[in-house]
Structure 1
Amino acid sequence: MTNTASCPFHRSLPGDGTPLEPSPQLSEWRASGPLAPLDYQDGHEGLVAVRYDAATAVLQDPRFSMRPARMPVGPETVGGGTTESSAVPLELPGDLDATAHQSEQLNLLTLDGAEHAKLRRAAAPRFSVRQARSREPWIRAMVAEQIHQLRHRGPVVDLWRDFAMLISARTHCHVIGVPEQNFDTFVELFVEPSTAQQKYDFIRQLLIERKDSPGEDVITDLLANPELNAVEIEGLLRLLMGAGRDSVAYLIATAAVALLTNPSELAQLREDPERVGPAVEEFMRVGAMFVTLFARTALEDVVIDGVTVPAGTSVSASPVAANRDPQHWGADAEEFRVARDAFGHLGFGYGIHGCIGQQVARVEIREAITALLLAFPEVELLSAQQLEPMPFAHPVAVYEAGEVLVRLYRQSEQAHGRTVSAAH
């Protein structure tokens, strides 16, 4: 016999958590059951999956749809307030032309079935494990250049803006196919606030230029794909350029904070830098960015972990809660342990809507953290905004990286670093 999910009282997502210390409310919900009541901004009374088994069940079950794209009620929307719902990072308001408006409807994050499979299949080849490995030398060299710039910018830097953001943006452009001469424009439009129409205008100009200059990148693949029309190509590039980059930057910054606030774990990686690769999974587990993923709505009655989710009910899976479920990860699930086997975490999502760029992201995070530890043996954390609660960075409920101020070296180390560089 199963229980039918219901909402005895209203609940919103808590805002008192941080990336490395989530709100205790999530733990309380998890202890009370696999699914907890959750309100949505359109007035819908739905649920949030807070246990690992329940979250993965929802994320891989085709009986759940990405539509409608409901956003949960969070601390900033309690009491009747609303936040603009979007499947891409928030941006400046502005009108869209007819073609761009059509492209907006073709969003991988809100599509199901054959539509979703077609677009994902078109973009996926450049994000495979093999492709990620082939890009390792380029990423390593690019990270080394960022380390060089950090040394000369220091001794005090913001690891998020001066390091993590640059690594993620440059890799993003490299894989997608944005030429180096267009990098600054890419940052102005996709890192800084801009309108959606400005983004589409940039994408269209790139497509014109790349038709005569193909490369080993996503844009080239899409242009050569006979199954795609212009509307689909523009919509797919709009999403790929706007999504994923910020989460990689967040993860690099948050991994650094986790290590610099846990000396014993940091010491293990300093002793053996080769362990950084496997530790990336633990970075992702304890520092997951998404408090909840985009909601799924039941197309029919679905039983999840003994609870019946009625047709039409929206469920948001919580990677933050699932990644700390002691029933799956053990009694020390709340602890950060770089030696833990954390494969299977939900930091990259799960199922057919899992992060398409996760293999490349792993390389970026590994190379960034490894280079940082090797280049700056005495790096120390001065302050990090993310150690205190901040507003969510998106209506779907994601943590913000925030400023991460570190001292890279003492002045004597700087002089030594420059001597070594000159010798080479």
Structure 2
Amino acid sequence: MTDQPPIVIDRTGADIHAELAALRRRGPVSRIELPGSVRAWSVTGYEAALSVLGDTRFSKDPRKHWPAFVDGEIGADFPLIGWVLMDNLTTAHGADHSRLRRLTAKAFTPRRVEAMRPVIEQAAAELLDELAAAAPGEAVDLKKRFAHPLPARVICDLFGVEPEERADLLRGGEVNVDTTTGAEEAAANVERWHRQMHDFVERKRRTPGDDLTSDLVAAQETDGSRLTPSELVGTLHLMLATGTEPVMNLIGNAVLALLTHPEQYERVRAGHAGWDDVIEETLRAEAPVAHLPFRFATEDVEVGGVTVRRGEPVLIGFAATGRDPEVHGADADRFELSREDKSHLAFGSGVYRCIGMPLARAELRIALPALFARFPEMALAVRPEQLKPQSTFIMNGVESLPVRLAPKDDRG
């Protein structure tokens, strides 16, 4: 229904699922208006998204395939400029994307991920010990004290980021996904983030260590397909940000789903459902990335009953595709561990499938059972309707997750 006015995307992300459902009711591909009055397309249907994700006529490179950016119509005052200026897998197309993917995928081979298991287990154990020090009945923010620091520590250890510099290097990614950020602050964040990462790379160049940043720096010097300096910095932006924010939301969303669906939690406790069921159903019903920019049509493309014109930007509504009733039926919005078909696109698909997927699943397979084994009587410290969403339409998570780890008369 392309004759309808576009839905203006709520930059505060106040109700991600309601907004994406409204878009899907217009069809699997529909018109939207982004901050800065930029017109785009949103893909919310599962099959349409699968088609776009696998279609080489959709590029992620704005420097080649977004005429409005190339011609200067989209400038530094665009609130989402950080998603345009990055120089990594998220903005590469064709041979450039393949080259970057080959280099960065080495970080997440099954052998590498398996070797990280003790690191994940130790990080989880130490964070749980810190949580156990809370007074009986005390409300603690599980996002701040477990869901965020666990993946942050794991990815920073992997890339050799020292504890004292982690907050600064991760802050750029946190600001980048906050879609309430003003255009001036967004542009300043890109510049600051780039400078911080450049300085970090130069320190690794002078003093390499046993970490993946040092490996990438070495590859830059010896590999025939070389990373450019800009690509190296951009790749680190991507790895640190995507290694933290989506995993944080996945942990938080899984915990929240179980605490607000006690009958589902009882299925896990009774052994009638496993932790993989929890992980996959959370990925389906509460995808940690909600509405991701950008792709650009390299020619006119028919998809989902509409024509996306050459150069038009496209967003994929990952939080909508898993809830598509065409795939998952009338109860697609419901969190249900016994659901036989838990198919989703939360990690993308095809050549653009998230390369960190094996590590993310490994973290969840360790973190969730360890958390609930330590605190089996954990409960929300507020009513579910009191929880506030993140200030973003790109991510799907809560601002904080206050819980009581045990009743006041039993520390568990």
Normalised by the length of structure 1, the TM-score is: 0.79
Q: Whole-Å Cα distance in 1 between the matches of residues 207 and 383 of structure 2? A: 41
Instruction: Tell me, yes or no, if structure 1 residue 86 matches structure 2 residue 86.
Output: no
SS of match in other structure, 2:267 = helix
1:280-320 CA-to-partner distances (Å, cap 9, x unmatched) read: 11111111133311121211121213433222222222111
Q: Whole-Å Cα distance in 2 between the matches of residues 49 and 391 of structure 1? A: 21
Q: Whole-Å Cα distance in 1 between the matches of residues 238 and 198 of structure 2? A: 11
Normalised by the length of structure 2, the TM-score is: 0.82
Aligned to 1:248: 247
Instruction: Tell me, yes or no, if structure 1 residue 145 matches structure 2 residue 126.
Output: yes
Aligned to 1:312: 311
Within the candidate set 395, 398, 402, 1:401 is matched to: 398
Tell me how far 1:247 sits from its aligned partner.
1.4
Q: Whole-Å Cα distance in 1 between the matches of residues 239 and 298 of structure 2? A: 28
Q: Whole-Å Cα distance in 2 between the matches of residues 331 and 177 of structure 1? A: 47
Q: Whole-Å Cα distance in 2 between the matches of residues 148 and 389 of structure 1? A: 27
Q: Whole-Å Cα distance in 1 between the matches of residues 116 and 272 of structure 2? A: 20
Aligned to 2:170: 190
Tell me how far 1:139 sits from its aligned partner.
1.3
Q: Which letter does structure 1 place at the counterpart of 2:214?
A: I
Q: Which letter does structure 2 place at the counterpart of 1:327?
A: E
Instruction: Tell me, yes or no, if structure 1 residue 50 matches structure 2 residue 44.
Output: yes
After the TM superposition, which segments of 4 or more aligned residues of structure 1 sit over 6 Å from their partners?
Answer: 15-19
Asked if the contact 1:292/1:317 (under 8 Å) is kept, the reply is yes
Aligned to 2:87: 106
1:203-250 CA-to-partner distances (Å, cap 9, x unmatched) read: 32133222xx335x4532552451324603333223212333111112
Q: Which letter does structure 1 place at the counterpart of 2:50?
A: T
Q: Whole-Å Cα distance in 1 between the matches of residues 8 and 210 of structure 2? A: 48
Q: Whole-Å Cα distance in 2 between the matches of residues 368 and 18 of structure 1? A: 28
Q: Which letter does structure 1 place at the counterpart of 2:404?
A: R
Task: List alignment gaps of at least 5 residues for structure 1.
Answer: 71-80, 89-103, 418-424
Higher mean alpha-carbon deviation, 151-160 vs 261-270, is at 151-160
SS of match in other structure, 1:120 = helix
Aligned to 1:116: 97
Tell me how far 1:398 sits from its aligned partner.
2.2
Instruction: Tell me, yes or no, if structure 1 residue 162 matches structure 2 residue 145.
Output: yes
SS of match in other structure, 1:36 = strand
CA RMSD after TM alignment: 2.9
1:218/1:338 CA distance change after superposition, 3 Å: farther
Q: Whole-Å Cα distance in 2 between the matches of residues 230 and 54 of structure 1? A: 34
Q: Which letter does structure 1 place at the counterpart of 2:61?
A: R
Asked if the contact 2:141/2:401 (under 8 Å) is kept, the reply is yes
1:33/1:83 CA distance change after superposition, 3 Å: same
Asked if the contact 1:18/1:399 (under 8 Å) is kept, the reply is no
1:140/1:400 CA distance change after superposition, 3 Å: same
Tell me how far 1:341 sits from its aligned partner.
4.3
Tell me how far 1:87 sits from its aligned partner.
2.2
1:385/1:87 CA distance change after superposition, 3 Å: farther
Task: List alignment gaps of at least 5 residues for structure 2.
Answer: 67-76, 176-188
Asked if the contact 2:382/2:402 (under 8 Å) is kept, the reply is yes
Q: Whole-Å Cα distance in 2 between the matches of residues 368 and 112 of structure 1? A: 35
Q: Whole-Å Cα distance in 2 between the matches of residues 355 and 177 of structure 1? A: 21
1:411/1:46 CA distance change after superposition, 3 Å: closer
1:57-99 CA-to-partner distances (Å, cap 9, x unmatched) read: 11111001113388xxxxxxxxxx96242129xxxxxxxxxxx
1:206/1:214 CA distance change after superposition, 3 Å: same
Q: Whole-Å Cα distance in 2 between the matches of residues 134 and 342 of structure 1? A: 31
SS of match in other structure, 2:42 = strand
Q: Which letter does structure 2 place at the counterpart of 1:408?
A: L
Q: Which letter does structure 2 place at the counterpart of 1:66?
A: K
1:273/1:402 CA distance change after superposition, 3 Å: farther
Q: Whole-Å Cα distance in 1 between the matches of residues 127 and 341 of structure 2? A: 28
Asked if the contact 1:378/1:408 (under 8 Å) is kept, the reply is yes
Tell me how far 1:351 sits from its aligned partner.
3.0
Q: Whole-Å Cα distance in 1 between the matches of residues 359 and 130 of structure 2? A: 23
Aligned to 2:367: 368
Aligned to 2:199: 201
SS of match in other structure, 1:290 = coil
1:112-134 CA-to-partner distances (Å, cap 9, x unmatched) read: 11111111110102213443233
Aligned to 2:182: none
Asked if the contact 1:382/1:406 (under 8 Å) is kept, the reply is yes
Q: Whole-Å Cα distance in 2 between the matches of residues 185 and 171 of structure 1? A: 14
1:413/1:206 CA distance change after superposition, 3 Å: farther
State, as a whole percentage, how many aligned pairs show the same letter. Answer: 30
Aligned to 1:223: 218
1:250-305 CA-to-partner distances (Å, cap 9, x unmatched) read: 21112111110110011111222971123211111111133311121211121213
Asked if the contact 1:279/1:338 (under 8 Å) is kept, the reply is yes
Q: Which letter does structure 1 place at the counterpart of 2:164?
A: D
Q: Whole-Å Cα distance in 2 between the matches of residues 160 and 273 of structure 1? A: 27
SS of match in other structure, 1:378 = coil
Q: Whole-Å Cα distance in 2 between the matches of residues 241 and 32 of structure 1? A: 36
Asked if the contact 1:297/1:315 (under 8 Å) is kept, the reply is yes
Q: Whole-Å Cα distance in 1 between the matches of residues 384 and 318 of structure 2? A: 21
